[in-house]
Copies of this chain bind each other. A is one copy, B any other.
Amino acid sequence: MKSEVTKPPGAETTPGGLSVVLLRSMYRTMLRIRIFEERVAELVTAGEIGTPCHLYIGQEAVATGVCAALEKEDYVWGGHRSHGHYLAKGGNLRTMLAEIYGKATGCSKGRGGSMHLFASDVGILGTVPLVAATIPLAVGAGLASKLRGDRRVSVAFFGDGATEEGVFHESVNMAALYRLPVIFVCENNFYASHMQLLERRAADNLSKAGDAHGITSSSLDGNDVEAAYRAATIAVERARGGRGPTLLECRTFRWRGHVGPSWDMDVGVKRKDELKDWLGKDPVARVRASLSDFGDTPEGFEVMDKEIRAEVEKAVEFARESEYPRASELLDHVFSPGAVIQ
């Protein structure tokens, strides 16, 4: 209905001006994250995966929209809940799963598990579970970019909880002061573990931190992939143009417990009510609905779904079959003088 028959396929745009081709590709990314993580959840429940997994389900639009605005050379940094960031930036699904299994073929050679992901070939310079730890590192990568003049943008993904670490403020200040090409993406899912936002701060006003440090900030619907993409695109332009950092507060929600597959592990009644609301705002379903409006068919979605599931199953097989690191290699990699990234 909404698409005109005369337009060549792919030339359509959403009311927000986004090409449908891009939207479809973002949908695929989101779905891939969703399916991957649902499978991980099953494997954790089955006891096949032992490393702590913090699932990103419900937040897929943020990683996807932001990373769609980036180039392969741009840097991203994450935290404990970074499967989504890793996939959205182009990290290898198979080696991430092998990593989660603790295998030597993993993206961190079995030393990192779910909480320590790395893929420098696509600019993922590290995700680690110390809350807020990668925020200053992202600033440093932005500084490197500025010093080299290579126009790379550096993105820090972090949660609302991370803004309570003082280093967040220190980092934003430094990025502001030196006008670094950094994007601070705060995924405000209203919880840090069991603690609701207003149990941790006086006001629901995270983006004000931007004003305090004199940088542009905005608050957006983190379940709207178009919104995330648009905001990130503007931030990327600003960064590449030497006009400094941006703080994006992306309001969203995680569906599962803080860690692991459970739906209610750390859930009080309050969170249950909120969750019901947010389940209705499923970011994946939302894009799917848009694409349907543009004529994408249930059959088409089915095919995509199947492809991704097949890919994930292959990854499970790969992970299962891979070898564990050897005990004799326990002390390897404490230092790696040769492994300098260019």
Residues of A within 8 A of B (CB): 164-170, 173, 176-177, 199-203, 205, 208-209, 211-215, 244
24 contacts between A and B (CB under 8 A): A164-B170, A165-B166, A165-B170, A166-B166, A166-B169, A166-B170, A169-B169, A173-B201, A173-B202, A176-B201, A176-B203, A177-B200, A177-B202, A201-B213, A201-B214, A202-B213, A202-B244, A203-B213, A203-B214, A205-B211, A208-B208, A208-B211, A209-B212, A211-B211
Chain B residues within 8 Å of A166, by CB: 165-170
User: This chain: how many copies in the complex?
Assistant: 2
Chain B residues within 8 Å of A169, by CB: 166, 168-169
With A208-B212, A209-B212, A211-B211 in contact, do A177 and B165 touch (Cβ < 8 Å)? no
Chain B residues within 8 Å of A215, by CB: 202
Chain B residues within 8 Å of A211, by CB: 205, 208, 211-212
With A205-B212, A212-B209, A213-B201 in contact, do A173 and B177 touch (Cβ < 8 Å)? no
Say how far A43's CB is from chain B's closest CB, in angstroms: 37
Smallest CB-CB A-B distances: 9 pairs: A166-B166, A203-B214, A202-B214, A176-B202, A212-B212, A169-B169, A208-B212, A166-B170, A166-B167
Q: How far is the CA of A57 from the CA of B176 in the complex (A)?
A: 32
Q: How far is the CA of A214 from the CA of B202 in the complex (A)?
A: 6
| Closest partner residue, chain B, to A175 (CB atom) | B202
Chain B residues within 8 Å of A176, by CB: 201-203
Say how far A143's CB is from chain B's closest CB, in angstroms: 15
Chain B residues within 8 Å of A244, by CB: 202
| Closest partner residue, chain B, to A198 (CB atom) | B177
Q: Which of A202, A203, A205, A244 counts the most B-chain CB atoms under 10 A from its CB?
A: A202
